[in-house]
Amino acid sequence: MRFIHAAAAIGIAIAVVFIASAMLMATPAHADFSGYRRCVGKMTEPVAERDPQNLQLVGEIEQDLDSGVSPAAETQKVAQKGFDPSFAKGIVQCVIEERP
């Protein structure tokens, strides 16, 4: 009976290791938000209707770029959200630069 308990414990330990490693590999990469904030903070825009340091905006840009949207198309999309086109380009560039 002890052999069965030992074998079960070893089996569970091995399964936990495999599951944990699979979950770590499946975790999507996100931009370094503090690096992104520094990058955006260096840029200046006369009037911003939206906050360029919004985590939701960063997440949307990352998701679009991951799905194959070109940086130029993403820049246009960000500009349509109320940012100056040149500032929108800088926002997209900061997301690209700060991704791992």
- Cβ partners under 8 Å of residue 69, min gap 6: 77
Q: How confident is the model at residue 9 (pLDDT cuts 50, 70, 90)?
A: low
| 13 has a pLDDT exceeding 90 | no
Of residues 12 and 80, the one with the higher pLDDT is 80
Average of per-residue pLDDT across 64-92: 91
The pLDDT of residue 27: 44
Tens of pLDDT, residues 25-75: 444 555 566 777 777 777 766 555 666 767 788 889 999 999 999 999 999
Mapping DSSP onto H, E and C, the string for 30-97 reads: CCCHHHHHHHHHHCCCCCCCCCCCCHHHHHHHHHHHHCCCCHHHHHHHHHCCCCCHHHHHHHHHHHHH
Cα dihedral across residues 94, 29, 81, 68: positive or negative: positive
Q: What is the pTM of this model?
A: 0.60
Tell whether 41 is covered by a domain: yes
The pLDDT of residue 18: 58
Rounded distance between C-alpha atoms, residue 88 and residue 77, angstroms: 8
- Number of domains within the chain: 1
Tell whether 15 is covered by a domain: no
Question: Which domain range does residue 48 map to?
Answer: 30-97
